[in-house]
Amino acid sequence: MPILLPADRYPKLFTAYEGPRLRLRNRILHASMTTRRVLASRVTPEMVQYYANRAAGGAALIVSEPLNMARVQNAAHKVSVWNPRNLDGLKRWAAAIEAHDCRLLGQVQDSGRGRHERGRNPAAIGASALPDDLSWTVPRVMRVGEIEAFIADVARSAQRLERAGFTGIEISSGHGHLFHQFLSPWSNQREDAYGGDFEGRLKFLSDTVAAIRAACGAGFVIGLKLPGDDGLPESINPTLGAAIADAMTRRHDVDYVAFCQGTHGRTLDWHIPDMHWPRSTWMGLIEQLKPSVNGKPLVGLGLITDPAEAEGHLARGQVDFIALGRPLVTDPAWPLKSAHGREADIRYCVSCNTCWGTIVDGRPLACDNNPRVAQPDEVDFRPRRAAKARRVTVVGSGIAGLEAAWVAAARGHTVTVLGRGGQPGGKTRLHALLPGGESLSSIYDYQYTMARRHGVRFEFGVEGDAATIADTRPDALVLATGSTMLWPRSLPVEWRDEGLIPDARTLATDLGGVTTVQGGTAVLFDMDHTEGTYALAVLLRRLFDRVVLVTPRERVAGDVPLVSALGIHRRLNRLHIEVLPFGEPVAESALEDGTVAVRNIHTGELTTIADVAVLSYSTPRAADDALFDRLQPHYAEVHRIGDCRQPRNVLLATGEGHALGNTL
């Protein structure tokens, strides 16, 4: 069991907590997140490992992912607590967490009518027959008997959790889930005992808390996650949020309150603030609502990524605990490293929401900046020494190359990195310089810090050609040379050869540091649909009178997780960035006259955009792998990683670099 020293730098964060039912070694809580590491509704070793790693890393309390507490809940990716056959698994889970002096709470949650995958939810239950904003799912209205059965099941399951060694439960009644849907007049238009007025809408949640209290022992913890402001019209604003919190904390002996924002509706992007939101996003709201919790311990949550920020919120008395969701996915040892003054060793969450995208796709929770999620050696990972030290040359100093380089060097190899640019980070650095991209620098900052610590030699501003590579006499050669955007096939190739139209990366580089408004229209052809393209669009909007995104698809941001895509749509609308769907720019454009012709891909009709100052394209990329064929005959070992192997995303670039570094 790791011992956490009371760190001088963060005295509040590492002050133990002694409450009526809770004893915690520090103030750091793990917020609930679905891991998609459950199979057939049973506890799996992989899932237990995920949580045990967070407990070993120093969190004082873990709120589990949502559990199937009522018999009507059957999701295969959630552990079924109502099923008695899972008792042993639940016991193993609780014991694995308690072994690290960490408490485990099970989360009660149901999505109700909310859905963020394609299509409607055919099994949705809900308060009223009203469509969900995103999927237009109309739920099956829960009859009074069903609500009562749900509550009774939850109470019985809570008893089972208590028997299994869980310290308590958290009821997720914010974020737009089922309890939230009952609380909100926007989604609850019942006229029976569970609707009609404030009291009626509160009854489902209130009865559930009362039933759990009655069913479980006096020491069983009940935490409430409540809606602070869901951002929908006629729904839960801070005034109603305060009334709900006041009523719940007056009537029930709950152990803490956590406020959150957003819904699983049009304000989905509010509920997991991405990199475009200010740090500690919800803290102003939490402070505003603080008087309504009647002195109950309050949790600070929402894009708190840095120990100094966390300490500040505690020191100012804003909250009693700090809950971390994504930051503990990225680094389970965040508490341990903070306690020991090793902040530079933390892999920081960059708020990209790739994690959310992976679980919504039905894949295990994964992270752009943590290639070892749920591995047995994940906590404070140190690469194992290589059997034989060798000379390794990495060509390319983007995130794939840097990851491979630091891991290989930590294993004892002598590593040289040849980077074409003047600084580490490659295209991720370029993205980090665009609006909202700043936090991405944490990926390459960590890699570069580690690489330097382990003695990697960097040569920047060097073209990694055959001669320079030969000078480094590598035993193993790693090519991480990235990729290049493909020329749009709808435009004449001569225009490419004449250098008339820059690709999005070239344009972003050229505009770096430009602040003078240029005027005219910027047209960006979008066959990319990932975050960076829209960050560039925002930059263009600052510099040009009009920005038009032309895409052959029916909409934009299609390859961004929906939780962040909604934020992109919101920004594009607010900034009046226009979107022209089903289109591609064509040769009929007269660039010298400032006109771009866009052809509808279905009808062939042409639309003309006038007064165009700049046309650019963000398109699928082809691997820059020419060196591979040229050098393979000359070296015993040549590897390609990241985009140089096949252009994909940050998740695969860091993952592939990490995996290779561990095998060289």
Ligand X SMILES: Cc1cc2nc3c(=O)[nH]c(=O)nc-3n(C[C@H](O)[C@H](O)[C@H](O)COP(=O)(O)O)c2cc1C
Residue with tokens 């096949």: 646
Q: Does 303 bind ligand X (CB under 6 A)?
A: yes
**Contact present, 107 and 66 (Cβ < 8 Å):** yes
Nearer to ligand X, 68 or 416 (CB): 68
- How is residue 544 annotated by DSSP? S
- Find the shortest distance in angstroms from Cβ 176 to ligand X: 10
Q: Which listed residue (172, 184, 292, 338) binds ligand X by CB under 6 A?
A: 172
33 forms part of the interface with ligand X (CB under 6 A): yes
Residue 66 touching ligand X (CB under 6 A): yes
Q: Which of 78, 203, 225, 658 binds ligand X (CB under 6 A)?
A: 225
Residues binding ligand X: what is the number (CB under 6 A)? 24
The answer to whether the CB of 75 falls within 8 A of the CB of 41 is yes
Residue 326 touches ligand X, criterion: CB under 6 A: yes
Looking at beta carbons only, is 306 or 528 nearer to ligand X? 306
Q: Smallest gap, in angstroms, from Cβ of residue 392 to ligand X?
A: 35
Q: Which of 106, 325, 401, 474 binds ligand X (CB under 6 A)?
A: 325
From candidates 109, 397, 551, 618, binder to ligand X by CB under 6 A: 109
355 binds ligand X (CB under 6 A): yes
The answer to whether residue 59 forms part of the interface with ligand X (CB under 6 A) is no
Taking the complex as a whole, the smallest distance from the CB of residue 629 to ligand X amounts, in Å, to 40
Roughly what angle, to the nearest 10 degrees, separates helices 198-215 and 238-251?
A: 40
- Interface with ligand X includes 175 (CB under 6 A)? yes
Q: Half-sphere exposure of residue 110, counting CA atoms within 13 Å on the CB side?
A: 28
Q: Which residues contact 439 (CB under 8 A, 6 or more apart)?
A: 275, 305, 348, 349, 350, 351, 352, 432
| Structure tokens, 461 | 């501003």
What span, in angstroms and rounded, lies between the C-alpha atoms of 333 and 656? Answer: 22
**Which of 202, 209, 359, 507 is close enough to bind ligand X by CB under 6 A?**
359
Select from 327, 437, 585, 657 the one that contacts ligand X (CB under 6 A). Answer: 327
Give the type of residue at 573. N
Q: Which of 52, 58, 55, 53 is nearest to 4 (CA)?
A: 58
Nearest approach in angstroms of CB 413 to ligand X is: 35
Instruction: Quickly tell me which residue has 């609780």 as its tokens.
Output: 94
Q: Applying CB under 6 A, does 260 fall inside the site for ligand X? A: yes
Contact call for residue 324 and ligand X (CB under 6 A): yes
Q: Does 411 bind ligand X (CB under 6 A)?
A: no
Site residues (CB under 6 A) for ligand X, limited to 516-575: none
Determine the 3-state secondary structure of 478 from DSSP: strand
The smaller minimum CB distance to ligand X, of residues 65 and 132, is found at: 65
Tell me which amino acid residue 199 is.
E
Shortest reach from residue 81's CB to ligand X, in Å: 15
Chain centroid to CA 659: 22
| The binder of ligand X chosen from 7, 29, 32, 567 (CB under 6 A) | 32
Nearest-angstrom CA–CA distance, 486 and 414? 36
Q: With binding defined as CB under 6 A, does residue 112 bind ligand X?
A: no
* Three-state SS at 419: strand
Which part of the chain contacts ligand X (CB under 6 A), choosing from 30-38, 200-208, 212-220, 427-435?
Answer: 30-38
Give the interface segment with ligand X, choosing from 46-54, 299-307, 462-470, 578-586 (CB under 6 A): 299-307
Question: Given the complex with ligand X, which of 252 and 271 has the nearer CB atom?
Answer: 271
Looking at the Cβ atoms of 325 and 426, the one nearer to ligand X is 325
Q: Is 454 in the site for ligand X (CB under 6 A)?
A: no
Closest CB to ligand X among residues 32, 483: 32
**Can you give 349-382 as a three-state secondary structure string?**
CCCCCHHHHHHHCCCCCCECCECCCCCCCCCCCC
Q: Which stretch binds ligand X (CB under 6 A): 240-248, 322-330, 539-547, 594-602?
A: 322-330
Token duo for residue 635: 């070296």
What is the token pair recorded at 462?
Answer: 């060097």
C-beta separation of 553 from 584 below 8 A: no
According to the binding rule CB under 6 A, does residue 34 interact with ligand X?
yes
Residues in CB range of 629: below 8 A, 6 or more apart? none
Is there a contact between 58 and 26 (Cβ–Cβ < 8 Å)?
yes
The least CB distance from residue 264 to ligand X, in Å, is: 10
Q: Are 376 and 382 in contact (CB under 8 A)?
A: no
Report the C-alpha gap between 77 and 617 in whole angstroms: 40
Shortest Å, Cβ 66 to ligand X: 5
Q: Residues in the site for ligand X, rule: CB under 6 A?
A: 31-34, 65-66, 107, 109, 172, 175, 225, 260, 272, 301-303, 324-327, 355-356, 359, 365
